[in-house]
Structure 1
Amino acid sequence: MDLIFAEATPSGRGGVSVIRISGDGARSVAEQLAGPLPKPRHAYLRDIADDVTVLDRALVMWFEAGHSFTGEEVVEIHLHGAPVIVRRLGQLLGSVGVRLAEAGEFTRRAFLNGKMDLSEVEGLGDLLAAETESQRLAALRMSSGELARKAEGWRSLLIRAGALVESSVDFADEDVPDEVPEEVFDLLEQFTNELDLQIGGYAAAERIRNGFEVAVIGPPNAGKSSLINRIARREVALVSDIPGTTRDIIELRLDLKGLAVTLLDTAGMRDAQDKIEGLGIDRARARAAASDLRLHLSPDGQADEDLWREGDLVITSKADLGSSEGGFAVSSLTGVGLDALLDQMFDRLSQRVAGAALVSHERQLNALISAREVVGSIKGPEPELVAEAIRQASSSLDQLLGRIGAEDYLDVIFQSFCIGK
């Protein structure tokens, strides 16, 4: 493969910038620029120079093939974090035949070289994108190989079951019974039960990864935009006493005690006064209906009956004016009731992530469903049919980990990675 390089630290001015080089000959390239680097995994203080000038004094280390993140020979150069130094080193590396890496190319090479399976790659991508504690913890479990270890346990059940079935087929003319041993069905039942737990917990895990949507709905001038601004502690939405001010949906990303939540400020629900407002109200209703939770906000504490769902919150706005009918009251002006509202939101949303599975990507879910369905389709004791179902289920587990059929997913997965990863 080509020699590639990229800045592994965020670009811009900083204390240190790390340039990573990967591929056969990475150490040789580094020694052209920095002099001898005798031992792997040792940091050497070296002048980085071309034939004429010294570019910077940096720490340089290299890792042997098979003992690096990508599985290839890798060099790391720790420079002073000035953009001009990073840019000059990039030019220098380009002049000796090292090209700039594509997005996610280091991780792609780690996958292709067997250093990571596809579920670990997806977990790493989630970890890099994590914004909340719950997202970090879920991504860390995936990237550290917990799903892969689970899959190996499921594979062991299939291997044991398959061996018993094959014995009944291969030795049908001898003393071994020609029917599938009962232990096989016990093993397959354990297999399907464990997969059912993961499949059943997918929705909660997917919500942790992608976050919840909470729509703030109510009549015009109910204080929806003011509430959004108070929660954000800045002016996110335009506020005025003119009905219909909010036309389009305004989003606020929120870390709610470790849960990722997007609050939606929607148009006031009323008979539209013009075509544009009507479009805004239609869009608000559709988005609110699809949300995970709705906050029904109004001065009189009334819910929108058309959008009401079990578990929604009814809130009386403008508590500073003395209103406290229906539900509980909040004031966007003074902050009264705001902490209680956020607590109620967290309680309702956290109930929905209880029992979250490891599986949080649709690709992973489909692989498990495929394995579950083929094993669940076994109707009789015919050894040949049972053996074929076990082989198909094993193939689905291989797809889960990217051992087969991964090509269709690689470009989609790696395009979300940064260039330095």
Structure 2
Amino acid sequence: MDTIIAPATAPGKAALAVIRVSGPAAQPMTQTLLERPIPWIPQRATLVRLWDRGEFLDQAVLVYWKKPHSFTGEDVVEISCHGSPYIVQKMVAAYIARGARFALPGEFTQRAFLHGKLDLTQAEAIHEIIQAQTPAALEGALGIHQGKLRNKIVQLRERLLGIVAHLEAYVDFPDEDVPPLVQKELEEALDCLEQELEALLRTAPVGKILREGVVTAIVGAPNVGKSSLFNALLREDRAIVSPIPGTTRDTIETECQLGGFCLRLVDTAGRRKTDDWIEQEGVRRAEAALAQADLVLYVIVAPEPEPEEVRRLLPPPGKVWLVVANKCDLGIHPDHRDRICVSALTGQGLDRLQEEIVRQLTGGLALAKEGWITINPRHEGLLRRAQEGLQRARTAWQEGASLELVSVDLRESLQALGEVIGLGCREEILDEVFRRFCIGK
């Protein structure tokens, strides 16, 4: 491979910048920039002065990582210099003049994968760690980076490989006294594998929420306290609160962290018929926010009977829909004894609301006990392919198909599981995975 270079820190002025160089010429190229020779001791920081064709570049700290004991598995030089964009530009230009190439997005991590320093799920987790905005998102990314998903996939794959090996040995070596798998044993083994795949697949919606956040629409009739609840969840006076119906004429959006999740709260106009054309537009926008939301908090008034529209509610499929009875500090009508009752004014019941939101978003999965293990869309597609292969194999077995045909379906599942961790992935798939990374990582 050629030698690549890129800043590993974000562009812009800063106290320090880190420049990463990886490849066979990383050390020789750096040697030509040094004011005087240094002992190239791996993993030791050395203060150096760097020059390019008689021009002083900067005084910097240099760390040498000798292959294979580096992030990429190649010789790596990391330079910590002053964070002037001009200095960084001159430093990179000096290496490019000596034959280095500017790295593509994710190319350092891609080289780490190609050199066996990490599997594909761990490589993807690096991107998730960088993008994480909440404790839960970071916990999930760190869990995968530590190998929790890889270990699970490897375990499932080894068990499936044992079944395939047994079937094929029985077919290929009939004279070797290989015991046949009885129908009950095979079906139980495939059922167990399928259930474990299904458990992983159930985490896909949670993974999406951790990566993208949750669009949360607060809706209801005028004067039920939607804006007050918006402010209470946000813990600041962001929306105007007034006893006058129709105060909120437009949607107000902002982000907040709740229970480890990132919620994009949307305060909306009260849903009612009105002749005021401005308020009509507010109601229209409220309906649009409702249609786009992942989570809907439908607010009613706790001291009053259940509104007729609540009885007629048909929550759209695919949305988390919670009816929240607000103003419980003024009393709770018997209709709402089993509802989530809160007071946006005093804070009463907000903890329970938060717990219920988290429970609904995670589908009740007790993920926190073992650390978050959530899958992304690429994992989901491959795991479904593996699951379908198991289902076809079991059906073929039950219908009396030949063991060769059963084995073909099981091998399809093996291939899909392998691709989750990067075994047998085509080059274009790898390029698609890594191109989403930032440059320098």
State the SS of the aligned residue for 1:79.
strand
Q: Distance in 2 between matches of 1:407 and 1:250?
A: 44
Q: By how many angstroms is 1:23 displaced?
A: 2.0
Aligned-partner residue type, residue 123 of structure 1 = A
Q: Distance in 2 between matches of 1:40 and 1:29?
A: 16
Quick one: structure 1 residues 295 and 395, their matched pair in 2 at CA, closer, same or farther if it must change by over 3 Å? Answer: same
Q: Distance in 1 between matches of 2:274 and 2:105?
A: 46
Tell me the equivalent position of 1:135. Answer: 137
**Is residue 98 of structure 1 aligned with residue 100 of structure 2?**
yes
Q: Distance in 2 between matches of 1:98 and 1:174?
A: 58
Q: By how many angstroms is 1:46 displaced?
A: 0.7
Q: Distance in 2 between matches of 1:135 and 1:53?
A: 46
Tell me the equivalent position of 1:360. Answer: 375
Quick one: structure 1 residues 178 and 101, their matched pair in 2 at CA, closer, same or farther if it must change by over 3 Å? Answer: closer
**Structure 1, unaligned stretches of length 5 or more?**
none
Q: By how many angstroms is 1:361 displaced?
A: 0.9
Q: Distance in 2 between matches of 1:144 and 1:343?
A: 32
Q: Distance in 1 between matches of 2:49 and 2:143?
A: 40
Matches of residues 260-275 of structure 1 in structure 2 within 5 Å? Answer: 260-271=262-273, 273=275
CA contact (8 A) 1:164 1:184 kept: no
Q: Distance in 1 between matches of 2:294 and 2:303?
A: 23
CA contact (8 A) 1:220 1:267 kept: yes
Q: Distance in 2 between matches of 1:329 and 1:163?
A: 59
Tell me the equivalent position of 1:243. Answer: 246
Q: By how many angstroms is 1:155 displaced?
A: 1.4
Quick one: structure 1 residues 28 and 198, their matched pair in 2 at CA, closer, same or farther if it must change by over 3 Å? Answer: same
CA contact (8 A) 1:238 1:246 kept: no
Q: Distance in 1 between matches of 2:76 and 2:163?
A: 43
Q: Distance in 2 between matches of 1:72 and 1:273?
A: 70
Quick one: structure 1 residues 46 and 17, their matched pair in 2 at CA, closer, same or farther if it must change by over 3 Å? Answer: same
Tell me the equivalent position of 1:393. Answer: 413
Tell me the equivalent position of 2:356. Answer: 347
Give TM-score scaled by structure 2 length. 0.81
Q: By how many angstroms is 1:291 displaced?
A: 2.8
- 329, 340, 346: which one aligns with 1:336: 346
State the SS of the aligned residue for 1:33.
coil
Quick one: structure 1 residues 277 and 113, their matched pair in 2 at CA, closer, same or farther if it must change by over 3 Å? Answer: farther
State the SS of the aligned residue for 1:189.
helix
Tell me the equivalent position of 1:194. Answer: 196
Tell me the equivalent position of 2:128. Answer: 126
**Structure 2, unaligned stretches of length 5 or more?**
none
- 153, 156, 173: which one aligns with 1:154: 156
Q: Distance in 1 between matches of 2:258 and 2:212?
A: 14
Tell me the equivalent position of 2:113. Answer: 111
Tell me the equivalent position of 1:16. Answer: 16
Q: Distance in 2 between matches of 1:80 and 1:262?
A: 37
Q: By how many angstroms is 1:45 displaced?
A: 1.2
Matches of residues 373-384 of structure 1 in structure 2 within 5 Å? Answer: 373-378=388-393, 379=395, 380=397, 382-384=402-404
- 292, 295, 299: which one aligns with 1:296: 299
Q: By how many angstroms is 1:259 displaced?
A: 2.4
Quick one: structure 1 residues 9 and 37, their matched pair in 2 at CA, closer, same or farther if it must change by over 3 Å? Answer: farther
Tell me the equivalent position of 1:403. Answer: 423
Aligned-partner residue type, residue 330 of structure 1 = S
Across the aligned residues of Structure 1 and Structure 2, the Cα RMSD in angstroms comes to 3.2
CA contact (8 A) 1:311 1:348 kept: no
Quick one: structure 1 residues 216 and 97, their matched pair in 2 at CA, closer, same or farther if it must change by over 3 Å? Answer: same
Aligned-partner residue type, residue 347 of structure 1 = E
Quick one: structure 1 residues 115 and 348, their matched pair in 2 at CA, closer, same or farther if it must change by over 3 Å? Answer: same
Q: By how many angstroms is 1:79 displaced?
A: 1.4
State the SS of the aligned residue for 1:46.
strand
State the SS of the aligned residue for 2:73.
coil
Tell me the equivalent position of 1:58. Answer: 60
Give TM-score scaled by structure 1 length. 0.85
Tell me the equivalent position of 1:81. Answer: 83
Aligned-partner residue type, residue 323 of structure 2 = L
Quick one: structure 1 residues 85 and 342, their matched pair in 2 at CA, closer, same or farther if it must change by over 3 Å? Answer: farther
1:342-375 CA-to-partner distances (Å, cap 9, x unmatched) read 5412333235422447242122112111111111
Quick one: structure 1 residues 272 and 108, their matched pair in 2 at CA, closer, same or farther if it must change by over 3 Å? Answer: farther
Tell me the equivalent position of 2:217. Answer: 215
1:201-247 CA-to-partner distances (Å, cap 9, x unmatched) read 33334334433333211234544345434543556456675826433
Quick one: structure 1 residues 347 and 227, their matched pair in 2 at CA, closer, same or farther if it must change by over 3 Å? Answer: closer
1:91-110 CA-to-partner distances (Å, cap 9, x unmatched) read 33333333432322222222
- 391, 413, 417: which one aligns with 2:433: 413
- 306, 315, 324: which one aligns with 1:314: 324
1:150-174 CA-to-partner distances (Å, cap 9, x unmatched) read 1111111122111211121013356
Aligned-partner residue type, residue 25 of structure 2 = G
Q: Distance in 1 between matches of 2:388 and 2:328?
A: 54
- % identical aligned pairs: 33
The more displaced of 230-239 and 134-143 is 230-239
**Is residue 166 of structure 1 aligned with residue 181 of structure 2?**
no
The more displaced of 206-215 and 255-264 is 206-215
Q: Distance in 1 between matches of 2:435 and 2:178?
A: 53
State the SS of the aligned residue for 1:24.
coil
